[in-house]
Structures are given as structure tokens and as C-alpha cells.
Amino acid sequence: MHFKHLIKAKQSYTTHFLDSISYSVKALKALWFFTVHAFLPDFYETNGSDTIKDLHTILQDKLSKIQ
């Protein structure tokens, strides 16, 4: 099976899978920070947004390499 997205992303299925899972883990980490912060505002004051910013940077860097 051929995926157009993998050709565009210049990745194998395995590499794409591992990258996508790593992004999911980062997003879940941000979810954890935001959830804890919602209940306990003195905890993780910037961790959630910092994690999202980090993920954004990673994705932007990856996108710039394939364009």
C-alpha cells in the first residue's frame, strides 16, 4: 500500500509512525500539565504551553526540511 502523505513527508511508514507517536506523547504530556493545572493552579503554570511550543517548533523544523 502506498500513502501519498508518506511520499510528501519523505518518510518511511515506520519513521512516520514513530514520529507521530512521539508527537502524541508530547501532546499527552501537555494534556497532563493542563489538567493538573486546572485543578491545582500553582502547579505546572507554564509547562503545558511550553510543551505545546516545543512541539510546534519540532513540527515547523520538520516541515521546513520537506518543502
The confidence score (pLDDT) of residue 57 equals: 98
Q: Is residue 49 a part of any domain in this protein?
A: yes
Q: Is residue 10 a part of any domain in this protein?
A: no
- How does pLDDT run along the chain (67 residues), one tens digit per residue? 789 999 999 999 999 999 999 999 999 999 999 999 999 999 999 999 999 999 999 999 999 998 8
The confidence score (pLDDT) of residue 18 equals: 98
Please say whether the beta carbons of 23 and 51 come within 8 A.
Answer: no
State the pTM of this model.
0.87
The half-sphere exposure of 36 on its side-chain side, counting CA atoms within 13 A, is: 12
Range of the domain at 48: 24-67
Q: Is residue 36 a part of any domain in this protein?
A: yes
Q: Is residue 3 a part of any domain in this protein?
A: no
Q: Is residue 11 a part of any domain in this protein?
A: no
Q: Is residue 55 a part of any domain in this protein?
A: yes
Which one-letter DSSP state was computed for residue 28?
H
CA distance 52 to 42: 19
Which one-letter DSSP state was computed for residue 43?
S
Question: Which triple of cell numbers denotes residue 45?
Answer: 503554570
Q: Is residue 18 a part of any domain in this protein?
A: no
